[in-house]
Amino acid sequence: MKLLVVKRTFLLFIGIIILLVFIFSAGYAFNPIVNTFKNSIEYQKAEKQVLKKYQALDNKFEFMLPADWTTMEEAFNGGEIIYHLSFMSNDKTVHGFVQIWDIDKPLKQFIDESKKAAAGVVDFKYYRVKELQTNAKKGYLLDYSRRTNQDKYIKAYEAFIEGSNGRIYRVSFFVDESNWKQQYLILFNRIIRSFEIRN
């Protein structure tokens, strides 16, 4: 009788262990599915986020940013930056700016010189440049991660679009690398696609 009770207790114990192993492994197996579902919802939010229209240079330049972001227009001395609008997301995760530059050199040369000027001063984890075509305008997309003074990394996406008469249209998008979400790319691309440049 005692042996039967010990046997049942042992089998019950083994059964509980098997059940726990199954529950933990099932949770681990379904984790990617749950994450994919969460990402899908976040992607949909990025696609459907309401944008607000901004205008500059007597309506010769229009662009859009999320309506709930904080923005602030600033003036710069020196003449090269003729328009600057800073922005920050309502959760303070994303920040950046939209600018118009007035320069006397080709855009590619400007990009190359900017990278050379940063060499030795800025510590890049990676730095990529690729050509960009949007609304019949050519430009470049910069994708890089740079170290901050606090030994963290900032992920950056910057688009430079070539206008006429030496004008460059720029949007820069910065996020702490630890807070980066892939769906931010959707939002960034929506902002770039919203650029309307009328010469």
pLDDT tens for 91-126 read: 999 999 999 999 888 888 888 888 888 777 788 899
Residue-averaged pLDDT of the chain: 82
Residues 43 and 65 in one domain: no
Q: pLDDT exceeding 90 applies to what percent of the chain?
A: 40
Residues 71 and 150 in one domain: yes
pLDDT at 34 over 50: no
Residues 131 and 184 in one domain: yes
Residues 36 and 85 in one domain: no
pLDDT tens for 135-171 read: 768 899 999 999 888 888 999 999 999 988 888 999 9
Three-state secondary-structure class, residue 81: strand
Residues 96 and 133 in one domain: yes
H or E segment at 72? strand 70-74
Cα–Cα dist 129/106, whole Å: 16
| Residue 15, pLDDT score | 64
Looking at the structure of the chain, the number of domains it has is 2
Cα–Cα dist 65/50, whole Å: 8
Burial of 19 (0-12, 13-18, 19+ CB in 10 A): exposed
Residues 104 and 86 in one domain: yes
Range of the domain at 191: 50-197
